Structures are given as C-alpha cells and as structure tokens.
C-alpha cells in the first residue's frame, strides 16, 4: 500500500500563514476545520492530516495566536473560541512519532496554559459586558474554550494535574459570576471523572485553595445552581480518596452544619445526603479518635503524676547522694592538684640539684686547671677525653648487651616452644604406633578334655532344644548380598582411614622437616641466595603475611630515633603475649633466625 500524500490544502495554508501578517493568521487558521472534517473521524486519513498539521507547525500557530487581542481580528472573540476548538480537535487522537517527548511535555502544557489565558480574558469581558447579547456571546465562547480543555484532558490524562495547578484555573474559579464559576466547577468535576487520583498529585497548598473557594461559595451564596454544582463537586472530591474526607472535616469544622441548615430542601437532597453521610462517618471516627486520645492523655497524666510524686519522695536521698558524690569528686580533684604541685616542686628541686652539681663540677674543673702545671694541661685534657670515651663506650656496650640478651631470650623461648611441640608430637605418634601393634583379637586360652566334652554336650543340648529354622534359597542369597554389601562398606571405610592416616603422617613429616630446616638455618651474615630459595613458601597466605611483615619492618626502620626509645628498654615482663606470637609468626614466615 502506497503512503498517503500530504494534502495540498495543508501545504497552501502553511505557506499563507508564514507569509501573512499577524492579524490575518487567526482567520486563515479557521480553514483547518474544513480540512479536518473532510476525512472521517478515527480513520487513517484523519490521523495523517493531524500529523501533517503538527509537522508543518500549524498546531503551534494555533497555540500562539490564542494570546492575541481579538478586538481587531475579523470575527472577534468568536474566532478565538473556534481556534481553541480546532486546537483540541487537532490534539485529540494525534500520535506523534517524531520527538514525542517534546509534544507531550512542552506543547500540550503550553496549549492548556494559553487556553486558560484565553478563558480568563473571556471571563473578564463577560463580567464587564453591559448588553445581554454581548454577554451571551462571551459566555458561549467561554464555554467553548472550557470544552476544548475538557477534550484535551480526556484524551491526555497526564494534563489533569497541570490543569488544576494552573494559575489561571484558580483565578477563573474564584469569581462571583454564576455562569462562569459554575462552568469552571463542571470542568473540575469532569477532570475528577477522568482521573480520580489527580488530587493526590496536586500540591497541598493548591488543593486547600480550591477547597476553600468551594466552601466559600456554599457559605456566601443562596443560588441553587451554584450550591448544587459545588456540593456535587465536594462529593466527587470526598469519594476520590478517604484522606480528602479527613481534610474536609478537620479543615472545615462547621461544614456539616452549614450543609444541613442552608442547603437542605433545595432540590438536590440525594447528593447532599451522600456528602453528609461521608462527613458524619468521618466525624464519628474523629470523635472516637479524640476520645481515645483524651483517655490516653489522662492515663499518661496519672502515670506521670505518680512518677513525679515518687521522685519527690526520693528527692532527699538523691540530694544526699549528689552532695556525697560532689564532695568526693572535689576531694579527688584537690588530691590531683596537690599531686601535680608536689611533682612540679620535685621537678624544680631536681633541676636545681642538677644545676648545683654542674656548677660544682665546673668549679672543680677550674680549680684543677689552676693547680695543674701549664705543661701538663694537654695531658690532663687527653686523659679526661679518654675517660669520657671509655664511659660512653661502657654505657653503649651495656645497652647493646642488654638488647642482645633480650633477643636471645626471645629466640630461647621460641626454641623451648618448638622443643615442647616436637615432644608432644613424638609422644602422640608413639601412642598411635602402639595402638596399631596392639591386636584386638586375643588368642583364646587352651581348653582341657573335660571342658571340651562339657562344652560339646551343652552345644548339642542347645541345638536339640532350639532347632534351626530352614532357610529358603532366596533368603540365603539376600543374606549373602547383605553380608557382601557390609563387607564392601567395611573395606572401603578401612581404605579411606588408611589414606587419611597416610596423609596425616605425611603432614607430620613435613612439619618435622620444616622444624629441622628452621633450626639449622644459617645466620643473616652467612646466608646466600640458594639458602633463601629453600625458605620461600609456596602458600599464597604465607607469602602475603611475609610481605606484610617485611613492609612493617621496613616502615619501622624509617621511624625517627625518638619513637624507638621506649622499645629498646623493654624487659621480659613488658613484652605481651600478642607481640611474642607476632614475632614467632614473622620468624616462621621469614625462614631465618633473627
């Protein structure tokens, strides 16, 4: 099937619109209605015409011209209403294939906004009209524009929340004119009929403004048309969501009384009674909730009073405890201050003593220099330097010996631990070997001839008293199969136990080999690359742990000297078990003696 050609009327109309002045464009756009009505509604031809109108921007022109002033346009505001009707006809049933997001998110909302803007202008002129004919004409145009908005919302449901949140919608609704306000309430009701959940999508402030206007109309007018429409609209709002009924009862507490007194017997009692029933049910729920709330408050007040009285009775004891704790804390703080002062005074005394000792030492030095012959001063200075060097060397050797002793202490502990582990393993293996050599089946004791005859007689008597039952061939075969099956299970289990035992012995042998290798490891001064290859582990966790320990040691060597002072004077009692375990793990992973 060949694709449909573009209608020549659309092409000529698009050319005329682009070339004509702004005042003539609305009159030219009226020709779109003839093009739309030439094709049967819902057909492929009509859909093609609407797509071409959108493609050649004629729909966009219809949206833009809605904001013009039609006082100087041919046909006046009737032309504007007809363009609004044409716009709704073009958008209803239109399927946009190219850039649909722009059409639905930009073009349609702008169309709704311009339609409301046109409706606002028509409402103002309808209110200000002096002649009845002019008023009827403006009112007819206003209804046409509102119908166009309803058609758009009926086809495109997503426009419902944008209609209610439009600024012009609320302005059109808040008017004292009966015809236009009634028509706007009808539009609101049509939107609720199309989409019941639209009120949940509207902002709370906008929703409250709409409800305020509806309640105000019910309270400020006695016109039955306005009252009937407002009550129907409130009923639709209440039936759309139970939360809105709660909003009506809590926000407008006298609404039920107003409806029952002012609007009863006006000719729409059925709708009024339905709304009153909903409000009464919600009020009953609210009263019940309020009673429960009051009861809960009463219980809470009684309980808090009881607790307060109880605390007041215990207040003297609490005050005594508080004073006692305060005095104890103050006494502790005073002791701490006294201790600080004593430490400070002791520090000052030690400082003075050191200064006094240094002064006495320098005085002695000067005295000695005065006594010594000038020719012996150099010799004396050399002797003093030698003594000082010897003192420094003596202290350094003592420090190094103590550190070496601590290191030997750690290695001795590790050697003792390895010896204890080896001893326990050897003892365990010895027990296992003894269990293997020990036989479970002991040889029976030899029987005498009399015991053998007596036992044979007992067996024959038992066989006579308990004769064996005959067993069929099938039962024998089944019993044989069961015996073979159990025998196979036993053999398989024994084979698995033997393999597990061999695996354990291999692991133990490997542990012994590792221990012997570690015990016979050369020192770091004599180690070679071949020796290092012997101690490289093939286990990934061990390699990772070794790298981590090596990185830690390298990082520690980069520490400044003042960070290592505390570690150099550690004694045996100051070394924790965790540190010992960490050093043992590092020794095993590194594979050399430290």
Q: Are residues 209 and 307 in the same domain?
A: yes
Residue 302 has pLDDT above 80, yes or no: yes
Q: Are residues 233 and 334 in the same domain?
A: no
**Residue 279 near residue 249 (C-beta atoms within 8 A):** yes
**Residue 181 near residue 141 (C-beta atoms within 8 A):** no
Q: Are residues 252 and 207 in the same domain?
A: yes
The pLDDT value recorded for residue 437 is 62
Give Cα separations from 238 to 153, 191, 232 (angstroms): 21, 14, 10
Q: Are residues 10 and 136 in the same domain?
A: yes
> At a CB cut-off of 8 Å and minimum separation 6, what does 237 contact?
192, 199, 211, 244, 248
Return d(Cα 39, Cα 54) in angstroms, integer.
Answer: 17
Q: Are residues 158 and 53 in the same domain?
A: yes
The pLDDT value recorded for residue 337 is 94
Q: How confident is the model at residue 588 (pLDDT cuts 50, 70, 90)?
A: very low
Residue 271 has pLDDT above 70, yes or no: yes
Return d(Cα 497, Cα 483) in angstroms, integer.
Answer: 21
Q: Are residues 391 and 366 in the same domain?
A: no
Residue 66 lies in a domain: yes
Residue 570 has pLDDT above 50, yes or no: no
Extended beta strands in 240-281, E state: none
DSSP labels, 145-206: HHHHHHHHHHH-GGGHHHHHT-HHHHHHHS-S-HHHHHHHHHHHHHHHHH-TTHHHHS-HHH
Q: Are residues 83 and 140 in the same domain?
A: yes
Structure tokens at 333: 């703080």
In Å, how far from its chain's centre is CA 413?
51
Compute the Cα dihedral for 85, 86, 91, 93 and give only its sign: positive
Please indicate whether residue 339 or residue 469 has the higher confidence score (pLDDT): 339
Q: Are residues 160 and 224 in the same domain?
A: no
Structure tokens at 157: 């449901």
> What is the domain count for the chain?
5
The pLDDT value recorded for residue 444 is 56
Please indicate whether residue 350 or residue 465 has the higher confidence score (pLDDT): 350
The pLDDT value recorded for residue 470 is 66
Please indicate whether residue 183 or residue 523 has the higher confidence score (pLDDT): 183
Structure tokens at 419: 């010896």
Domain with 295, as residue range(s), is 203-313
Q: Are residues 20 and 128 in the same domain?
A: yes
**What three-state secondary structure class fits 72?**
coil
Compute the Cα dihedral for 467, 472, 478, 484 and give only its sign: positive
Residue 308 lies in a domain: yes
Q: What is the DSSP letter of 177?
A: -
Residue 187 lies in a domain: no
The pLDDT value recorded for residue 345 is 93
**Residue 274 near residue 238 (C-beta atoms within 8 A):** no
Residue 181 lies in a domain: no
Q: How confident is the model at residue 515 (pLDDT cuts 50, 70, 90)?
A: confident
Please indicate whether residue 92 or residue 390 has the higher confidence score (pLDDT): 390
Q: How confident is the model at residue 4 (pLDDT cuts 50, 70, 90)?
A: low
Residue 110 lies in a domain: yes
Please indicate whether residue 109 or residue 369 has the higher confidence score (pLDDT): 109
The pLDDT value recorded for residue 591 is 40
**Residue 271 near residue 231 (C-beta atoms within 8 A):** yes
Task: State the angle between helix axes of 255-262 and 242-251 in degrees (0 to 180), rounded to the nearest 10.
Answer: 90
| Lowest-confidence segment of 182-186, 396-400, 439-443, 489-493 by average pLDDT | 439-443
- Using CA atoms of 138, 141, 145, 148 in order, give the dihedral in degrees to the nearest 10: 160
Residue 120 has pLDDT above 80, yes or no: yes
The pLDDT value recorded for residue 343 is 93
Q: Are residues 303 and 325 in the same domain?
A: no
| Lowest-confidence segment of 173-187, 480-494, 552-566 by average pLDDT | 552-566
The pLDDT value recorded for residue 328 is 92
Looking at residues 69-87, what average pLDDT do you find?
83
Looking at residues 384-396, what average pLDDT do you find?
88
Return d(Cα 246, Cα 305) in angstroms, integer.
Answer: 34
Looking at residues 220-243, what average pLDDT do you find?
81
Average predicted confidence (pLDDT) for the chain:
79
Q: Are residues 62 and 85 in the same domain?
A: yes
Q: What is the DSSP letter of 65?
A: G
The pLDDT value recorded for residue 342 is 93
Percent of the chain predicted with pLDDT > 70 = 89
The pLDDT value recorded for residue 567 is 54
The pLDDT value recorded for residue 565 is 64
In Å, how far from its chain's centre is CA 197?
30
Residue 30 has pLDDT above 50, yes or no: yes
Residue 579 has pLDDT above 80, yes or no: no
Q: 221: number of CA atoms within 13 Å, CB side? A: 21
Q: Are residues 48 and 154 in the same domain?
A: yes
Residue 79 lies in a domain: yes
Looking at residues 279-305, what average pLDDT do you find?
82
Return d(Cα 237, Cα 188) in angstroms, integer.
Answer: 10
**pLDDT tens digits, one per residue of 150-209:** 888 887 888 877 888 888 888 888 887 788 888 888 888 888 888 877 877 788 888 888
> Which residue, among 97, 196, 206, 103, has the nearest Cα to 162 in the 3D structure?
206
Give Cα separations from 56 to 14, 23, 90, 491, 505 (angstroms): 7, 20, 13, 92, 92
Residue 33 lies in a domain: yes
**pLDDT tens digits, one per residue of 121-139:** 888 888 887 778 888 888 8
Residue 475 lies in a domain: no
The pLDDT value recorded for residue 71 is 82
């Amino acid at each position: 099937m060949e694709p449909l050609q573009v209608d020549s009327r659309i092409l000529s109309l698009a050319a005329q619109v682009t070339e004509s002045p702004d005042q003539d464009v609305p009159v030219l756009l009226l020709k779109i209605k003839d093009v739309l009505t030439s094709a049967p509604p819902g057909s492929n031809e009509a859909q093609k015409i609407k797509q071409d109108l959108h493609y050649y921007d004629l729909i966009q022109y219809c949206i833009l011209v809605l904001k013009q002033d039609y006082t100087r346009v041919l046909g006046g505001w009737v032309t504007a209403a007809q363009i609004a009707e044409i716009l709704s006809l073009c958008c209803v049933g239109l399927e946009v294939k190219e850039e649909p997001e722009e059409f639905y998110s930009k073009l349609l909302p702008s169309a709704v906004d311009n339609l409301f803007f046109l409706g606002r202008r028509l409402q103002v002129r309808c209110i200000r009209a002096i002649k009845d004919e002019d008023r009827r004409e403006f009112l007819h145009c206003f209804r046409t524009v509102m119908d166009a908005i309803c058609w758009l919302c009926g086809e495109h449901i997503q426009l419902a929340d944008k209609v209610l949140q439009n600024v012009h919608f609320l302005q059109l609704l808040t008017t004292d004119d009966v015809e236009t306000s009634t028509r706007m309430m009808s539009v609101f009701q049509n939107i609720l009929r199309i989409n019941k959940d639209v009120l949940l999508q509207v902002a709370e402030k906008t929703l409250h403004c709409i409800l305020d206007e509806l309640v105000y109309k019910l309270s400020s007018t006695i016109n039955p048309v306005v009252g009937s429409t407002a009550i129907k609209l409130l009923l639709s709002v209440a039936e759309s969501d139970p939360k809105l009924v709660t909003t009506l009862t809590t926000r407008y507490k006298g609404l039920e009384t107003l409806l029952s007194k002012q609007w009863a017997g006006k000719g729409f009692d059925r709708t009024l009674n339905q709304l009153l029933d909903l409000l009464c049910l919600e009020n009953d729920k609210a009263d019940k909730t309020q009673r429960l709330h009051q009861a809960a408050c009463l219980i809470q007040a009684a309980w808090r009073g009881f607790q307060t009285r109880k605390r007041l009775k215990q207040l003297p004891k609490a005050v005594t405890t508080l004073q006692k704790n305060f005095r104890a804390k103050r006494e502790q703080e005073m002791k701490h201050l006294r201790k600080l002062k004593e430490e400070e005074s002791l520090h000052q005394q030690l400082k003075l003593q050191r200064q006094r000792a240094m002064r006495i030492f320098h005085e002695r030095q000067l005295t000695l220099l005065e006594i010594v012959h000038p020719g012996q001063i150099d010799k004396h200075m050399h002797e003093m330097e030698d003594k000082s060097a010897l003192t420094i060397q003596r202290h350094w050797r003592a420090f190094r010996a103590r550190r070496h002793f601590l290191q030997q202490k750690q290695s001795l502990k590790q050697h003792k631990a390895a010896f204890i582990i080896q001893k326990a393993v050897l003892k365990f293996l010895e027990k296992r070997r003894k269990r293997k050599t020990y036989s479970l089946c002991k040889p029976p004791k030899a029987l005498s001839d009399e015991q053998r005859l007596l036992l044979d007689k007992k067996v024959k008597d038992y066989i006579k008293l308990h004769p064996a039952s005959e067993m069929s061939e099938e039962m024998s075969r089944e019993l044989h199969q069961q015996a073979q099956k159990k025998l196979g299970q036993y053999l398989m289990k024994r084979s698995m136990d033997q393999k597990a035992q061999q695996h354990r012995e291999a692991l133990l042998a490997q542990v012994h080999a590792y221990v012997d290798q570690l015990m016979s490891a050369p020192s770091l001064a004599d180690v070679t690359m071949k020796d290092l290859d012997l101690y490289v582990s093939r286990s990934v966790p061990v390699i990772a742990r070794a790298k981590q320990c090596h990185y830690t040691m390298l990082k520690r060597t980069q520490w400044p000297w003042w960070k290592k002072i505390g570690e150099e004077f550690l004694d045996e009692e100051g070394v924790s078990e965790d540190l010992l375990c960490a050093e043992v793990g590092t020794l095993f992973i590194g594979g050399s003696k430290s």
